[in-house]
Structure 1
């Protein structure tokens, strides 16, 4: 049964995200996108102009409705070191049915930036800035500066280390999705990074 004639933009973007996430930008055909979104070619072109415009809208949707919500949930609202670890692992831990989500969509997009316009690069930069900001807010909330033996701790540097760890972990999850091994690596890396910082 086809979708109702009323246009549900959020549902279309969600459906297209699943397909782009599983296949990537280049490998997705317009026919597959039409089937995934249950939109006729004319409607797809009317609302999004072309495949790349749809992809950019999907990436923006992902940044706002998935990545930012994970940042808020694990890094901003009552954060703890356990929440930080969950933020990392929630980027690659998914059921077998959606195993294609074993890598942050932002990282997947980064692998295809050479195929996309500068607008995609700007969106990826925006996503990375959101990650960095989330890590800085987490550090400001969790690390107690009065009890630190090292008064010169630079929260920007720690945030950069967390960002590098996050991006490399997501890339590793795409290449070798061994969740147990990734969990151990994340735990050990975070334990090492925060071992000298007394929590608040």
Structure 2
């Protein structure tokens, strides 16, 4: 029988501790991203500082700089983000470069691209093989997002299952419900979604 720390509690102590730790981690990560996030442009390339680390990308490694729509648009949120793409298709978000935090985003973005052209000493040119890598990584990112979403939905669904089992007096296995089931859902969704990654590529990336 599933034992709780107090009568009437459906979640064990370790479950509450994990939940609190998760919430603190999410809020802390968001705060660090906002407080530390910066994009610096210099003669040797672009440096992006995130919550915990900095990444420097030399001009020679930059394939393109693009403004792309935010996937989950909100009326009070940013609609466009600036991203840096490398020759292998990897994407790096340029922190604090969006039309929510930058008053004249279009002008700032064009100035950034102009600066990049001057330092790269070459104009922007799209290459089919790099564009395919960009689409591949975009599809796999979306597959990852779907897998995480599926796991979170499964995790949320386990709470009413646990409550029902407690009410009817059935055995409850927290590790099975809150770890094994979400992990299994994540794995299944990940396998299925990665196989159909082309259908997950955003429409604007498929335009010529």
TM class, shorter-length: under 0.3
Normalized per residue, which structure has more helix? 1
The structure whose RCO (Cα within 8 Å, separation 6+) is larger is: 1
- Could you tell me the TM-score, scaled by structure 1's length? 0.26
Structure that is richer in strand per residue: 2
TM-score normalized by the length of structure 2 = 0.25
